[in-house]
Structure 1
């Protein structure tokens, strides 16, 4: 079966047959901790409908998202290649299927095969570039625009129009208060872009939602489009 995860598909293409016996299917549940900060993961996790959130804590205990990982990414890649501990806590924000590969298996393949190594390094670079761009977006754009962008990206990263997200989740993603998130969600709901009730966001009209999104969506959205994994760097 062709994997939904773009990065895993690129690895299959880089070294056909090398990982099939090592891949394990798992189901991730909302709120689960995938990796703790300071640990070295035993497996690399490839979401295929789940959404993972890498979090860092502030001095007063608040959690802020520094990266969202979906079906174009994997969690634990950098630690796999460097054997150094995770710098963030990674949790499941939207439950769903995923695949895993033992970290040692992936590292051995990367050490032996330049194609595999380039695929993984390209993934790390892409996530780092997204994080850098997100810093500028957070500083320059209003919350409603950022929420619209984030919902569109989440839709692409999970492949779903129905997103199980609480206001608390969205507040962490955006680094704002729940009341601020609620005001922005009401604006998007009134425009007919989304429907929101009981911790579930339904994307009703992606085009209308995109009209609210900041310019950063055009920059970040390419990786989440269907078929993005086929634009593999050789």
Structure 2
């Protein structure tokens, strides 16, 4: 993780960090800018995070490990998220390993400083708790989605949301990445991706997925995509649907 220059408050891309700034402008003085690189481990399972990270173009992936060594994504985290927030508020260790899935910028606030600010500012504390609740509701929806929707529908939903979370429609992802994300075999993932490629919704080659037609891709997505859009501002939704 490399440090980069900190911009002005108006340049904040992470909506949760912007909300924190509005609740307590002093919080921005504690922010440390980062450049996250694909493959970096941000938090290890069992570690108490030293900071809360707010992606601003990077995409992070929280992974649950099985006894046989397999991993599956349990949360995808972008510019509408804060990573390590619950551990920050409780001083409890992380239950999953979090890695960088797509390189990009982020900002971090030291956990002790954010926790102290929440103790002193009731409005800020309520805001942080609402953020934690939102993450819990999203996890519940994802659990239901994984149980009842097929791989193609889940993949389409994930790709559309990733466009919104990164602000990009060109995504550096391999089929192996997407198989881990959805918790399926690579052959199963490939069959689903071919359906969307044949429809003209996307193309992929050499480790890059390009969303060509978000509306066609949305036709493949499950109903959970509509639920997830409630987490985004109108401008974020427009970006996710824009033809790049």
**What TM bracket, shorter-length normalisation?**
over 0.9
Once residues 227 and 189 of structure 1 are traced to their aligned partners in structure 2, the CA distance between those partners, rounded to angstroms, is: 26
189, 197, 203: which one aligns with 1:189: 197
Secondary structure at 1:19 match in 2: helix
**TM-align CA RMSD:** 1.1
Among 11, 26, 33, which residue is 1:25 paired with?
33
Partner of 1:86 in structure 2?
94
Find the counterpart in structure 2 of residue 232 from structure 1. none
Q: Is 1:116 the counterpart of 2:138 in the alignment?
A: no
Tell me which residue corresponds to 2:107. Answer: 99
Maintained 8 Å contact 1:44/1:76:
yes
Structure 2 SS opposite 1:75: coil
Q: Does 1:12 align with 2:12?
A: no
Q: Deviations over 1:25-75 (max 9, x none)?
A: 111011100000111111111000001111111110100111111100011
Instruction: Report the 3-state secondary structure (helix = DSSP H, G, I; strand = E; otherwise coil) of the residue aligned with 2:29.
Output: coil
TM-score, structure 1 normalization: 0.94
Higher relative contact order (CA 8 A, sep 6+): 1
SS in 2 for 1:147: helix
Question: Secondary structure of the residue that 1:20 maps to in structure 2?
Answer: helix
CA distance in 1, matches of 2:227, 2:189: 23
Unpaired segments ≥5 residues, structure 2:
1-7, 237-244
Q: CA deviation at 1:221?
A: 1.8
Structure 1 gap segments, 5+ residues each = 229-234
The answer as to 2:163 corresponding to 1:148 is: no
Shift of 1:222: 2.2
Residue among 95, 117, 137 paired with 2:145 = 137
State the shift of 1:121 in Å: 1.0
Aligned residue for 1:159?
167
1:192-211 alignment, distance < 5 Å: 192-211=200-219
Q: Counterpart of 1:65?
A: 73
Which secondary structure does the structure 2 equivalent of 1:115 belong to? helix
> Aligned partners of 1:199 and 1:215: how far apart in 2?
28
